[in-house]
Amino acid sequence: MEQQISYVPLEDMDERMREEMARCAREGTPRPESSAVRAHVPAAFWFFADSWKALFHEGVVEHELKDLCRVYISRTVKCEYCGNQRSEKALKAGLEEAQYDELLNFESSDRYDERQKAALAYAQAIAWGPGAEGELELLWKRLHQHFSEAELVELGCAIGLTLGQQSWIRLLGIDHHQFMAGTTASMAPGFESADALQQSKASEDYWAHSH
């Protein structure tokens, strides 16, 4: 897919924005490309950067749970750019790659505990609706068993922000290793370089081919 909105050059950004871009290249989530698109409108750039820091990297819900929800959204709406990223912080907290692999079948998987499954059911309902009549009541009963109201608000806002941004990003035609290239920060295994990314995408086992 051809790129639809250009990247703003670093030299056209102010010092504070360049510092955030350096953080993106060093730490990822988000990686530099999506941030360089948002930089066309500084208010959009900082709206996302500040909200993402507060809701995703910080807050009352454990970060690794929020990253599972983020990648679930990536896979369910097929945002390849976001789905090929991992959170370094979540990996350090103990998440394993196999837990990302089974996200779309989370209910039947034994890789998630009941709190994680409830959060993923929340993400599923936010993305696609609660399902058949009566399921919404059951969903909320399940969620209240595992989360406080503050946690549900934070998690819901983080999932909603993820869904909106990823639904937009998948239309942009951007990809990794195109802006401030040369870092592997937050890249999923097999996507650490431009060459590796292309090889992984060409594989019959590539996740976006099968979902």
Tens of pLDDT, residues 118-133: 999 999 999 999 877 7
Mean per-residue pLDDT of the chain = 95
Is residue 5 included in any domain, yes or no?
no
DSSP letter for each residue of 45-57: HHHHHHHHIIIII
The pLDDT > 70 percentage for the chain reads 99
The pLDDT tens digits for 173-190 are 999 999 999 989 999 999
The C-alpha atoms of residue 68 and residue 178 are separated, in whole angstroms, by 25
Show the tokens assigned to 203: 């594989």
Is residue 1 included in any domain, yes or no?
no
Is residue 2 included in any domain, yes or no?
no
Is residue 47 included in any domain, yes or no?
yes
Angle at which helices 114-128 and 63-77 cross, to 10°:
40
Supply the CATH number for residue 192's domain.
1.20.1290.10
Give this prediction's pTM: 0.94
Closest CA to 193 of 205, 178, 208: 178
Number of domains observed in the structure of the chain: 1
Is residue 42 included in any domain, yes or no?
yes
Q: Residue 205: is its pLDDT beyond 80?
A: yes
Is residue 153 included in any domain, yes or no?
yes
Domain, as residue range, for 164 = 10-210
The pLDDT tens digits for 26-49 are 999 999 999 999 999 999 999 999
| pLDDT score for 209 | 87
